Structure 1
Amino acid sequence: MQLLKLVESQIQIGVPLPWNVRNRDCTLLLAKAYVVRNESQLEMLLERGMYVDAEEVRALAAAQAPPPRTIQSIYARWTGAIDTLELLLPALPDQKAGFAPRIHALATEILELAALDTDIALFMAVRQDQARHLRYGYSHSVYTALLALLMAQRLGWTPERILQLTQAALTMNASIAELQGHMAHQDHPVLDRQRARIRQHPHDSAALLERAGITDAGWLAAVRQHHEQVGGGGYPTGAAAVDEPAQVLRMADVFMARISPRTLRAPLSIQEAARQMFRDDQGGPLSMAVIKEMGIYPPGDLVQLASGELGVVLRRGAEARTPLVAAVSDAQGRSVTSTLQRDTSDPAYAVTGAATDRSLLARVPPERLYGYALDA
């Protein structure tokens, strides 16, 4: 038995001993859980000499050690962010004490994931799971938050403003998140009662946030105004003056909605959605922030190459039209088992346009393109 000598700081008066205490000859003096009652008793024991079995010390340290941190892939963390929002928003009215720190933690997670690998973040947003329409209300908010924060960073906003914007994006549709999923899944046009809820949801969502204890005026204003338009014509009030955060939210919201699939319609291509956004914004700084951040062919887009191959965009390139691409078919359009990276700045592999049939994307998981060693 290997003995370790105890010192005064290791014994707490009035607290049960966590191990057996022995003398130098290994004779048991005090059994585990014995309580030293006062200073005089402690001084007497220290004079005699107190020792503990090294194995007991190691066993106690192991038992008290925190559990090892579970390592998650970056892809799982993005899915987990959607899961978290799906738990938070439906219970919003009952979370007055705990909602603010939870949504702050989720916004911080999204900011961290975006910084960890922006190309993978965009890949996850662009290449959405078309079979999971019922979760659309939550995935849409998460990916809108991503695009909004990237726009704000491009515009040079402070970290505090960007965090506020991210929280607003996550909660702007709090009152209709479930409805959005049902509408994405339904096989009939929007009903009048659904349209009425949609038009009222900016105010309803802000009211839910206030009931949950949110008092940040900028956050609440962005939620209330995120469907208003500068000069009027938006909803729910038709206000002509709209704060900049709400303008960013509206553009990110509309852009992500246009590239997202529904049961009744296919998503717009990235390029067509960008054209419409640029036209609506008249080439203003907000639409340019989106285009500069994503490029013409963002990660997750399926493109046709001059070589005849189809490829999935992996990473943005030095130029908007020259991304790094992973070929997923050969020149004859047949799927390939190996993934070959193509530098589209090379004329032999230049992007000739976006692919029209995106069904191949469903068979290309991100792990195949980026690998598994992206844990954080």
Structure 2
Amino acid sequence: MQLLKLVESEIQLNVPLPWNVRNHDCTLLLAQGHVVANAAQLEVLLERGMYVDLEEKRAVEALAAPAPQPRKSIYARWSDAIDTLERLVHDLPLAPNFPEYIEVLAEELITLAELDADIAIFMAVRQDQARHLRYGYSHSIYTALLCILIAQRMEWTAARVRLITLAALTMNVSIADLQGQMAGQDYPVLDRQRAQLRTHPTDSAAQLAEAGITDSHWLDAVRQHHEQTTGDGYPTGLTEIDELTQVLRMADVFMARISPRAIRPPMTVQDAARQMFRDDKGGVLSSTIIKVLGIYPPGSLVKLASGELGVVMRRGAEARTPLVAAVTDAQGRSVTTTLHRNTAEPAYAITSPAADDKNLLSRVPPERLYGYAQAGTQP
């Protein structure tokens, strides 16, 4: 038995002792549960010498220590990010400590993108079509993700990556709930809704300024994220727009096109990329987005030369050769095991995109494709 001498701070008056107390030769002085009633009694005991068995003390401390929290999966952390943004925006413009909290959220998204960008893209492409009411928040989260990937591909500094992430998260704070309402409605945009959309860049920037945001580049990006170099944008028809704001606008529009609405299905990633490339006249920014996502980004449903249908899991070395998980056999029957197909091999080459099949895709959650083992190494 290894004894450890006790000091005054380890004994609480009128609180049962958590362990047995002994003297220097291991003789029991006070049994576990005994109560030292007053300071005078404690002083006498300390002068005599109070000891505890080291192993017993460690065992008690281990029991008293809070249980470690289970590490959240990367999927739960993406969902939590949407929840966090919704809470922060609902408190605007009087949200306490908003600048600090939105910075923390931006850092979390950058971390998640670095942990596994393919899983992040999968979740953005395969958005939950039943959650229209939260569209305003999920759209900002996934637009921020796309901005992060584009900015990193263009080798921007960490400070600029952070800035565009913050702008994407906050560009629509004044209409986030309206966006959810509009995504779920089965009728066209109303005039009053259109009026709010028209002024939301300046309204959002004003709310951010009132909440304590002072970074002029951040506020300018929010004010200008619907402006176009042609002068056809809004709210002021600017023609001089910096690169960061142009990236933000293109990511915003791209994500909106591939997102579901009650009144229309989402545009395919391939059609959205084609339209963006045409609008940008084949410019550097649209080309970069296509390079970031690939022709068939994670989450896309595709037809293979083998006759199978598959879901893209990971981008490949070439834009047209991603790693795919077969979800049907050659006869179109669902498979219960995940079979990986390298589409660079002629036998499994992608022949075309496939129309979304909600029943089929509902049976292919990201956990089935990617598992939990690599679902985030951060606590």
Q: State if a TM-score over 0.5 links the two structures.
A: yes
- 1:278 aligned residue: 277
- 2:258 aligned residue: 259
Give the drift of 1:320: 0.5
Give the drift of 1:237: 1.0
User: In 1, are the aligned partners of 2:322 and 2:343 still within 8 Å (CA)?
Assistant: yes
- 1:153 aligned residue: 152
Give the drift of 1:366: 1.0
Closer, same or farther: CA 35–167 of 1 in aligned 2, 3 Å: farther
* CA RMSD, Structure 1 to Structure 2 (Å): 2.6
Closer, same or farther: CA 66–162 of 1 in aligned 2, 3 Å: farther
- How far apart in 2 are the matches of 1:56 and 1:310? 60
Give the drift of 1:35: 8.2
User: Quick one: which amino acid aligns to residue 115 of structure 2?
Assistant: L
DSSP 3-state at the match of 1:148: helix
- 1:240 aligned residue: 239
User: In 1, are the aligned partners of 2:4 and 2:53 still within 8 Å (CA)?
Assistant: no
- 1:76 aligned residue: 76
| 1:125-204 equivalences in 2 (<5 Å) | 125-204=124-203
User: Quick one: which amino acid aligns to residue 163 of structure 1?
Assistant: R
User: In 2, are the aligned partners of 1:137 and 1:177 still within 8 Å (CA)?
Assistant: yes
| 1:20-99 equivalences in 2 (<5 Å) | 22-24=22-24, 25-28=27-30, 48-54=48-54, 57-58=57-58, 61-62=61-62, 65-95=65-95, 97-99=96-98
User: In 2, are the aligned partners of 1:325 and 1:341 still within 8 Å (CA)?
Assistant: yes
Give the drift of 1:341: 1.0
| 1:88-127 equivalences in 2 (<5 Å) | 88-95=88-95, 97-127=96-126
Give the drift of 1:212: 1.1
- How far apart in 1 are the matches of 2:319 and 2:80? 30
- How far apart in 2 are the matches of 1:35 and 1:229? 77
- 2:361 aligned residue: 361
User: In 2, are the aligned partners of 1:5 and 1:49 still within 8 Å (CA)?
Assistant: no
- How far apart in 2 are the matches of 1:35 and 1:284? 81
- How far apart in 2 are the matches of 1:5 and 1:120? 51
- How far apart in 2 are the matches of 1:22 and 1:217? 67
DSSP 3-state at the match of 1:161: helix
Q: Percent identity?
A: 63
User: In 2, are the aligned partners of 1:15 and 1:35 still within 8 Å (CA)?
Assistant: no
* Number of equivalenced pairs: 368
Q: Show structure 1 runs of 5+ residues with no match.
A: none
User: In 1, are the aligned partners of 2:224 and 2:241 still within 8 Å (CA)?
Assistant: yes
User: Quick one: which amino acid aligns to residue 72 of structure 1?
Assistant: K
Closer, same or farther: CA 19–362 of 1 in aligned 2, 3 Å: closer
Closer, same or farther: CA 364–76 of 1 in aligned 2, 3 Å: same
Give the drift of 1:28: 4.5
Q: Deviations over 1:32-88 (max 9, x none)?
A: 677879xxx98x977643323546633553366344022211111111111111211
Closer, same or farther: CA 13–181 of 1 in aligned 2, 3 Å: closer
User: Quick one: which amino acid aligns to residue 181 of structure 1?
Assistant: G
**What TM-score do you get using the length of structure 2 for normalisation?**
0.89
DSSP 3-state at the match of 2:214: coil
DSSP 3-state at the match of 1:27: strand
Give the drift of 1:288: 1.5
Question: Residue 229 in 1 paired to residue 228 in 2?
Answer: yes
**Greater mean alpha carbon deviation, residues 134-143 or residues 14-23:** 14-23
Q: Deviations over 1:235-267 (max 9, x none)?
A: 111111112221111010000000011111111
- How far apart in 2 are the matches of 1:33 and 1:300? 65
Give the drift of 1:331: 1.6
Q: Deviations over 1:310-333 (max 9, x none)?
A: 110011111100111111112222
User: Quick one: which amino acid aligns to residue 370 of structure 1?
Assistant: Y
DSSP 3-state at the match of 1:373: coil
User: Quick one: which amino acid aligns to residue 285 of structure 1?
Assistant: V
